[in-house]
Structure 1
């Protein structure tokens, strides 16, 4: 099976997640087509038979170019097995209300676009302190203190559960075969 792994990324963690999804697909004996959907590149050449899309949440929104891609491709996405990986730091919060908020982020995108993915996975992202400018690093560090998250700004901190992501991909592949 040929599977499109489309993604949008802001600081690089969603690209890393998409790479892991593509690697799991290839390891299972399928072909993965990795595409940054914000690049405007084409993917139709290989005629994907399924899709897993990955996007980060920043300020309670997915990147506009990602939402636009979903809107443009909704007919195709609904005609093949598809899944969505929503990437948010809130999913790892120690506060249940914030985890629930993160679980609801896809609702607006799916309602607005009409996309009906068969599976949705919530992945925790990363704190990319080394990539933030001074102001963003200062704000994120204050937020991390509140969340009891790492505040060492000299390095990045990754929270993605790679085993859960791999299990999600396997569940998708099992469902897509059926």
Structure 2
């Protein structure tokens, strides 16, 4: 297709970046030119790209405020460009919460912004208690306990469905 694609991401523990890199690999294999930017590093223009993808993880039920601010400030540019958004969160580990239509964080996200992405997805993240600072670990264990998830402090589970990530990338390539 030979499109110029920008991917903007926000990650807390690195899983969203890992997902972005898989999406990038698939898009590059399809002969696209892809540039990856952290929310803290992007200083270009959305209009420089044929397609613009935004990915953001959740921490304590919220996407990074910088992502929300970016979308609000660049809504007109986003609307003029093919675009996509994906959310990464542990609630999506449950099949009944793994789509944009059923994921409570994604639904809440759309209610708090004035933008509807052309294409969207929700991916489960990674649970790695030993990587988290003490307070985060306790809070995430509490949330997991409340949602019947694993609470053992040695737990390390990558819930991300890599086939689903690759299917999303192929969909983006075909749009």
TM-score (norm 2): 0.84
TM-score (norm 1): 0.83
Contact 2:46 2:78 in 1 (8 A): no
Q: Does 1:51 align with 2:70?
A: no
Runs of 5+ unmatched residues, structure 1? none
Q: List aligned pairs for 1:107-146, cutoff 5 A.
A: 107-145=107-145
* Structure (1 or 2) with the greater strand fraction: 2
* Structure (1 or 2) with the greater helix fraction: 1
SS of corresponding position for 1:29: coil
| Count of aligned positions | 172
Aligned-pair CA distance for 1:150: 4.0
Q: List aligned pairs for 1:1-178, cutoff 5 A.
A: 1-37=3-39, 39-44=40-45, 47-93=48-94, 96=96, 103-145=103-145, 147-154=147-154, 156-175=156-175
Please give the per-residue CA displacement for 1:3-40, whole angstroms capped at 9, x wherever unaligned.
11110111111111111111111111101110111x14
In structure 2, relative to structure 1, the CA distance for the partners of 1:152 and 1:109 (3 Å cut) is closer
CA RMSD of aligned residues (A): 2.5
SS of corresponding position for 2:62: coil
Runs of 5+ unmatched residues, structure 2? none
